[in-house]
Amino acid sequence: MTDTAQLPALTQPTSSAAEERAKQLVSALLDAARERGYAIGHGRMHPGHWKFVIQGADVEWLVYERSAQRKVPLTKKEKKDWLFSHIAERGWKRVLVPSGWLVLLVSGDYQSQQRIEEKPRFPLVASDILARFEQMGAYGAAERQRRREEERLRAKRATERLRSRRVEDSRWNAMNDMIAAAEQAQRLRRFIDIIATRTPLRPDQERRVRKFVRWARTHADAIDPMTKDFDIVLARLGLHKR
């Protein structure tokens, strides 16, 4: 950074001198950016805006001459003009004139616009400005990385919540299916018992009942989840071995 205490204080500059200093300042900043390999482009807001891409972050800036207010006497014609009737009695108006002093407007990614006004003991210096640009570029790059990491974590948490909901839904559906199958198996066994204990039976009926009972009990065991290995039951409920 430049030690401003070692810089000569600027006397009140003229507008033409300010314009020349602005051109020199812009040229020095562009040369320094090219030397460092920064991408250079025009900003979005104004034709005079420039943009440097530093560490992947945009830094937009503009150097211009600021205006100053001056009191100017009204002309005879203005004193008679109704447009100036509200100030005709005092006899003067305020106008904006070139001040001879420069202003730097700069904004960066995730940073609001800054306005730096040149003052007699604090002139705008290319090396100081570029150092500020580099700090803003580093901040923008770090902030972008931080936000990307936050977004990654949000997406990860959302995926985990979705996975958890799917596991819960799957477990709930499996449990309801198993309850329905177990209840069906129990109803079937009660019905089998009713058929099997029916008396009296003729010999031909007994043969048919025995055949039915064997078939029905096999079917009941097949649909009853509780007849399976208990690890299979637990797995269907989402309780896998660790």
**Residue 190 tokens, joined:** 């009660």
Would you say residue 173 has pLDDT above 80? yes
Residue 31 pLDDT > 90, yes or no? yes
Burial string for 165-190 (b: 16+ CB within 10 Å, else e) reads eeeeeeeeebeeebeeeeeebeebbe
pLDDT classification of 8: cutoffs 50, 70, 90: very low
Mean pLDDT of 213-221: 94
Sign of CA dihedral 165, 167, 173, 175: negative
Residues 6+ apart with CB under 8 A from 65: 15, 18, 19, 22, 98, 99, 100, 101, 102, 103
Q: Domain spans of the chain?
A: 4-150, 170-236
CB 109 within 8 A of CB 58: yes
Closest CA to 98 of 132, 53, 67: 67
- Other Cβ atoms closer than 10 A to 151: 10
- The model's pLDDT over 54-101, given as tens digits with 9 standing for 90+, comes to 999 999 999 999 887 878 888 888 877 787 788 777 878 788 778 889
Taking the model in full, what pTM does it have?
0.65
Separation of alpha carbons 235 and 232, rounded Å: 5
Neighbour tally for 154: CB within 10 Å:
10
Total H helices, total E strands in the chain: 5, 5
